Structure 1
Amino acid sequence: MEYKDYYKTLGVERSATADEIRAAYRKLARKYHPDVSKEHNAEARFKEVGEAYEVLKDAEKREAYDQLGSNWKQGQDFRPPPGWNPGGGGGFEFRTGPGGQGDFSDFFSSIFGNMGGGFGGGGFNQTGFGQGTNTRQQSRGQDQHTKIQIDLEDSMHGAKRSISLRSASGERTLTVNIPKGIKAGQKIRLNGQGQTGLGGAGDLLLEVEFNPHRLYKVDGNDLTMNLPVAPWEAALGATVKVSLPDGTQADVKIPANSRSGRKMRLKEKGLPSKPAGDLYLILEIVLPAADTPRAKELYEQMSKELAFNPRANG
């Protein structure tokens, strides 16, 4: 199997402090979290980062890992030294993996043991490493799933929202950070806010849904809005002001001889995700009312002079 350089995985020196290791882990965990990352290998990297942190965050585990020495290189074939017994044969206790799913690597298992394995037939049990044949594991609580309704503006700018959850133990209020650019269907994970188990609490996963917006419709990263235009703006062409989802305005050029239903794209003016979405404008020609003598006169003049028949090709 390949040797895994946990320091290299987290991008820190072997002399890194606990605070430096923690900061590096948090940065990489945010970058590769499968719920939000766009990296093609996000899930695998997230597991690698979690495994590295599981070892290096604890002084005893880190010391045992460092006993292997600095001569092993990333990718080099590895076998534990004969008689290898980290930490004197006891005291280590792990969750089943960075995500609680038993997904530690073979390299990790060869050093510290895992469920049903380890050294001297001991394996992993509730009291530590290599202490008998009882491999029953303290189980982590189950993850819980629910939905959260957010406004479009929350995704455009990022936001903090409070949610109330009811359970058998009562009601609790949680503060949720809404990441900028999050899409409908994506999930926000709140660590340790799920069901409680002997091995700790599971996570709470909030699936994002958008509240209806008075102007914009959401489709993935993209947004769509109807843009009302006057008949002469559509016929002659014009430049009009358009309100953008981020709260700013833009000058949009309407081409001459435009028809209702024409779709125009404003690139990267949709949700600010990675990549950013687009904003689509659907032209909607709005006729002025013939509710004054002058308006009626103008309509009568057009009917005579333009000789326009909208059903001519019907």
Structure 2
Amino acid sequence: MKFKDYYQTMGVERTASAGEIKQAYRKLAHQYHPDVTKDALGKEKFQEIGEAYAVLKDPEKRLAYDQLGKAPAGADFAPPPGWQHDVDPNGSGFDDVDFGDLFAAFGRSARGGAPRRPSPARGQDVEITAPVSLEQLHGGGDIEVRANLPEIDAHGIPHRVSRTFRVALPVGAADGQRLRLAGKGGPGTQGGPAGDLYVALALTPHPLYRTSGRDLYMDLPLAPWEAVLGASIRVPTLDGPVELNVKAGSTGGQQLRLAKRGLRAADGSIGALHAVILIKTPSSVNEAERALYQQLAEVSDFQARPHFANGDAKEMKK
């Protein structure tokens, strides 16, 4: 039998912790995985790494391996007499036994019977974030999400695979709400159930609306004459456009409330839409417009800054 230095195969010290051994295995298994490596000996190295890890990750097998002592890799090796008695009581010898199988035999001997089968284990839960629009939160419907889920391939190597799901949004869903897709997470092991996939909804910024709970806020730009004379404005809402009457003499910053034109809640209630008036002035005017503005300035007695009348800050403070 040829001695195999499992620590050398894994690239770790004999004093390495279980975590260091696991980390080294993941790195090497990915490097030499048959689906990844271009090394001509990649498959053989992959099998050697798997054999080494199977022994060193098991406390009983690792202890048994360490009891063998240390020999140069590839050197002729025969287990000490004590091992012959422990794992081969019939005295048939180790000539036809694979080096890795030696520790499986030791495990059976140490436990006094057949190797203990791993218990079924539930798969890993996975959470992803899915961007959604105000329209989708308000009206429901389906969205498509993509998740990178854990999976174990035919060689027993864990990796990630991208999968796509269609998720039904409940009407009145909320920003930050988590939707559960039962059994769509990581696969279970040894017949255990799969984990769940959680989809956390993340509201994307809207070009028109700002949110505050179920209420929406939007800017309503008005021309100066619309604010002074009043106007009927066609305003977009999540349920379609509506006519909004702006009263004469409206001022900038004033809020006009449209009931039940905000976001729909899960209980069926609907928030309000608040239109915040902004007075917009033209950045340039033609000669005719300039003449009209000049005429307005001459005939109007409106004072935009009555508290600036005397220009004395001390007097204004009083």
Tell me the TM-score normalized by structure 1. 0.52
Q: What SS does structure 1 have at the residue aligned with 2:146?
A: strand
Q: What SS does structure 2 have at the residue aligned with 1:271?
A: coil
Match of 2:181 in 1: 190
CA distance, structure 1, for counterparts of residue 194 and residue 214 of structure 2: 33
* Cα distance per residue 1:35-66 (max 9 Å; x no partner): xxxxxxxxxxxxxxxxxxxxxxxxxxxxxxxx
Q: Find the partner of 2:163 among 149, 152, 172.
A: 172
Return the offset for 1:139. Answer: 4.6
* Cα distance per residue 1:145-183 (max 9 Å; x no partner): 221101222123222122221232311111111222212
Return the offset for 1:137. Answer: 8.2
1:163 aligned partner, one-letter code: V
After superposition, the Cα gap between the structure-2 partners of 1:207 and 1:309, relative to the gap in structure 1 and judged at 3 Å, is same
Count of residues paired in the alignment: 178
* Cα distance per residue 1:83-112 (max 9 Å; x no partner): xxxxxxxxxxxxxxxxxxxxxxxxxxxxxx
Q: How does 1:57-206 map to 2 (within 5 A)?
A: 138-167=120-149, 168-198=159-189, 199-206=192-199
CA distance, structure 1, for counterparts of residue 300 and residue 199 of structure 2: 59
Q: What SS does structure 2 have at the residue aligned with 1:235?
A: helix
Match of 2:290 in 1: 296
CA distance, structure 2, for counterparts of residue 301 and residue 261 of structure 1: 27
Matched, 1:313 2:307: yes
Say if 1:233 and 1:256, in contact at 8 Å, map to a contact too: yes
Match of 1:279 in 2: 273
1:291 aligned partner, one-letter code: V
RMSD after superposition: 2.1
Match of 1:32 in 2: none
Say if 1:290 and 1:296, in contact at 8 Å, map to a contact too: no
Say if 1:227 and 1:284, in contact at 8 Å, map to a contact too: yes
Say if 2:176 and 2:201, in contact at 8 Å, map to a contact too: yes
Q: What SS does structure 1 have at the residue aligned with 2:295?
A: helix
CA distance, structure 1, for counterparts of residue 274 and residue 185 of structure 2: 39
Mark the structure with the bigger radius of gyration. 2
- % same residue: 34
Q: How does 1:7-86 map to 2 (within 5 A)?
A: none
Matched, 1:252 2:244: yes
Deviating 4+ runs (over 6 angstroms): none
1:171 aligned partner, one-letter code: S
Return the offset for 1:253. Answer: 1.4
Say if 1:184 and 1:220, in contact at 8 Å, map to a contact too: no
Q: What SS does structure 2 have at the residue aligned with 1:169?
A: strand
Tell me the TM-score normalized by structure 2. 0.52
Structure 2 gap segments, 5+ residues each: 1-117, 150-158, 309-318
Say if 2:262 and 2:271, in contact at 8 Å, map to a contact too: yes
* Cα distance per residue 1:14-55 (max 9 Å; x no partner): xxxxxxxxxxxxxxxxxxxxxxxxxxxxxxxxxxxxxxxxxx
1:300 aligned partner, one-letter code: Q
Return the offset for 1:259. Answer: 0.9
Q: What SS does structure 1 have at the residue aligned with 2:228?
A: helix
CA distance, structure 2, for counterparts of residue 182 and residue 241 of structure 1: 28
Say if 1:148 and 1:207, in contact at 8 Å, map to a contact too: yes
Q: What SS does structure 2 have at the residue aligned with 1:227?
A: strand
CA distance, structure 1, for counterparts of residue 274 and residue 290 of structure 2: 34
* Larger helix percent: 2
1:309 aligned partner, one-letter code: Q
Say if 2:259 and 2:272, in contact at 8 Å, map to a contact too: yes
Return the offset for 1:292. Answer: 0.4
CA distance, structure 1, for counterparts of residue 284 and residue 290 of structure 2: 5
Return the offset for 1:208. Answer: 1.1
Say if 2:128 and 2:147, in contact at 8 Å, map to a contact too: no
1:233 aligned partner, one-letter code: E
1:193 aligned partner, one-letter code: K
Match of 2:14 in 1: none
Structure 1 gap segments, 5+ residues each: 1-135
* Cα distance per residue 1:213-239 (max 9 Å; x no partner): 111122221211111112122122222
CA distance, structure 2, for counterparts of residue 250 and residue 268 of structure 1: 12
CA distance, structure 2, for counterparts of residue 142 and residue 220 of structure 1: 33
